[in-house]
Amino acid sequence: MTYFQDKSVVVIGASGVLGSELTRILLNQGAEVRTIVRNATNIAPEFSNLKTATADISNRDSLAKAFEELGETFDGVINAAGVVAFGSLAEVPAEVVAQLFATNAQGTVNTLSLASSVIKEGGFVASLTGVVADVDVLGMSAYCASKAAAKKAMSIAARELRSKKITVLDIRAPHTETGLVNRALYGEAPKMPVGLSPEVVANRILQALESGEKDLPAESFSA
C-alpha cells in the first residue's frame, strides 16, 4: 500500500503538463483524485472519468464553489496552476501584470484561505511558487514578483494552519519542461538551460508530501 492509497487529493491546474503528471502518478498510487481546471475541455482524455470542477482561482468565490462541487473535505490539495510573462517592468503591460498577480499570487492566497475548511486535520496543501520566487531574473521581473508574493503567503499560512495540523508545502522547483514558456501572456522567454522533466518534479513533490517536508527549494530537486 502506498502513502496516497485511498487519500482524496484535489489537483488545481490538472490540465497543465505538471498538473497532469501529478494526477497520473497519484492515480497510479491509488489516490482518489479530483481536479479543478479553468477550462474542462483542456483536461486530458485519460482523466475524463475523474470528478472535475471549473474555477477561476483568482476569484475566491469561484474556487470555493469548485471545492463544494467536488466534495466536503479532502486529504490534500495541490495547486499547480500558474501563468508567465516576459519583459522588463517598463515593457510588461499593466493588464498583464494584473493577470500575473491574480493567478500566481491571489490564486495562491485563495487556495490557502480555503484550506482550513476543505482539508482534513492532518492533511496538506501544496503550491508551486517556483525557483523564481527566490531569485531576481532580468526579463522576468513581474513574474518573479508575483511568485515572491505567493511564497510569502505560503510562509505565513504554514504558521496559521499549524493549529489545524495541516502541512503547507512551498514548491520552488527549478525550470521544468512544461512548455509554459511557449504560452506566455506576453513577451519571449530569455534563453534557458534544459529544464527538469515533469515526471522528475512530480515524483519529488509527492515524495516530499509523503515524508512531511514543509519546504522544497530548487536545490532539493535533481535530474
Set out the domains of the chain in order of their start, with CATH numbers.
8-220 (3.40.50.720)
> What's residue 192's pLDDT?
81
pLDDT single digits (tens) 46-76: 999 999 999 999 999 999 999 999 998 999 9
Which residues, 6+ apart, have CB-to-CB distance to 208 below 8 Å?
A: 126, 169, 171, 216, 220
Strands lying side by side in the sheet with 32-37 = 52-54, 32-37, 8-12, 74-79, 119-128, 167-171, 215-216
CB 95 within 8 A of CB 180: no
Separation in Å, CA 186 to CA 97, 124, 127: 10, 33, 23
**Cα–Cα dist 56/36, whole Å:** 9
Query: How many other C-beta atoms lie within 10 A of the C-beta of residue 57?
Result: 25
Helices (H) and strands (E) in the chain, counts: 6, 7
> What's residue 87's pLDDT?
96
Query: How many other C-beta atoms lie within 10 A of the C-beta of residue 203?
Result: 15
> What's residue 223's pLDDT?
53
Q: What is the pLDDT along the chain (223 residues), one digit of tens a residue?
A: 799 999 999 999 999 999 999 999 999 999 999 999 999 999 999 999 999 999 999 999 999 999 999 998 999 999 999 999 999 999 999 999 999 999 999 999 999 999 999 999 999 999 999 999 999 989 999 999 999 999 999 999 999 999 999 999 999 999 999 988 889 999 998 888 888 999 999 999 999 999 999 999 999 997 5
User: What pTM was computed for the model?
Assistant: 0.96
**Cα–Cα dist 75/9, whole Å:** 6
> What's residue 191's pLDDT?
83
